[in-house]
Amino acid sequence: MIPLMIKASFEDKSAPPFVARVGLESANNTAALSAELPDVHIYQYREQSFSVASDMGRSMNGDVIFANPATGTLHRWLRSGSSHNTLLVTERCDQLCQMCSQPPRKTHLDMFDHLKQACLLAEPCAQIGFSGGEPLLFKHQLFELLETVGEARPDLTFHILTNAQHFDTADVERLRLTVYSRVKWGIPLYSDQAAMHDQIVAKPGAFAQLMSSFALLAHSGQSIELRTVLLRENYSSLPELARMVSNRLPFISTWAIMQMERIGFARNRWADLFVDHSAQTAPLDEAVSIATSRSLDVALFNMPYCTVSPALRPYLHASISDWKNAFSSECKDCTAKSFCAGFFAWHATLADYERAGPIR
Ligand code: SF4
């Protein structure tokens, strides 16, 4: 697993946090490598000097980091060469999804100035993700960030994961600004039935609000990646959801169907929530067939290659986050390993799936 947080020793631990790009040469906003010793790399950022273990130093060259001298940590916010960089806007959320991989907290730390600085330092043509919690609980700050960064960096694109509970008609004009044509909204929808969706996200009325947000986003020409996590509760009705998406949401860019992550709330509720799609392939097969026959772009995530029907394999994608990819020891001699999505690093086992195993 790629380390996203690195321990560091700072010369001045009382200095405020800062955002910088890690580089070899001194430049404005760069933490430049000043000494390369066998065990440690030493960097200089303005008046501040800090060191990290040399293997970590090598891996973070070119990254945009958030450095916090008080905690002795560097957070690799934008990893060089990665297309999977996501910035956390807030840990607050107004939903409490049963399988949430990043359970919300009540506290909020306003990091918008640092987030903006990180975006401005991003590599050319980078895609930057924003997630939470629910990022649009701070909609106006986020919109302001997108508009400022978008104007200064017209090469950047953005992906925002949101529950779409906070759009209103007053946003339509703003969403028509040019910068929003470079935004893709990742929006979860778990069922065609309002009661089931509301129960999964633990928020009465969430489905109705979502439908009204979809209409508003379509009206303002937004790009939407619909996201559905497979659960025991929604799996058998997946074909109905496919029909509903085809009929009512034909304007979406992509329908991402994904297996659950065994982390956050799902870790302790795994036995109740997890559905083995390899044991009952029909709902997934039928849903993909319905959606693709209506020309929807379908993408399957977090599903090992050997667990899906051959007809679905062209729709498989690697994990949404590259730093999570891992394989089971049983995968060693599998001929499909080079194009298999594998597993989340914290739960790399085939044991959850009835029909799985190396392809020879
Ligand atoms: S055995 Fe492992 S590498 Fe092969 S398809 Fe299954 S999960 Fe992927």
Rounded Cα–Cα distance for residues 346 and 341 (Å): 14
Mean pLDDT split into 10-residue runs, the chain, 360 residues: 89 97 87 94 95 89 96 96 93 96 93 98 97 97 98 98 97 97 98 98 98 97 98 98 97 97 92 96 98 97 94 87 76 90 80 91
CATH fold of the domain at 85-347: TIM Barrel (3.20.20)
The residue behind tokens 């109705």 is 208
Q: Is 327 in the pocket of ligand 1 (CB under 6 A)?
A: yes
The SS3 call for residue 21 is: strand
Cα(289) to centroid(ligand 1), Å: 23
Q: What is the pLDDT of residue 255?
A: 98
Measured in degrees and rounded to the nearest 5, phi and psi for residue 281 equal -85, -20
Q: How far apart are the first and last CA of the chain?
A: 26
* DSSP 8-state assignment for residue 343: E
Q: What is the pLDDT of residue 6?
A: 94
* Atom 2, ligand 1: residue with shortest CA distance: 331
E strands within the chain? 5-7, 9-10, 18-23, 30-36, 40-45, 48-53, 64-68, 73-78, 85-88, 127-131, 157-161, 183-188, 223-229, 254-258, 298-301, 325-326, 343-344
| Domain definitions of the chain by residue range | 5-77, 85-347
Q: Is 359 in the pocket of ligand 1 (CB under 6 A)?
A: yes
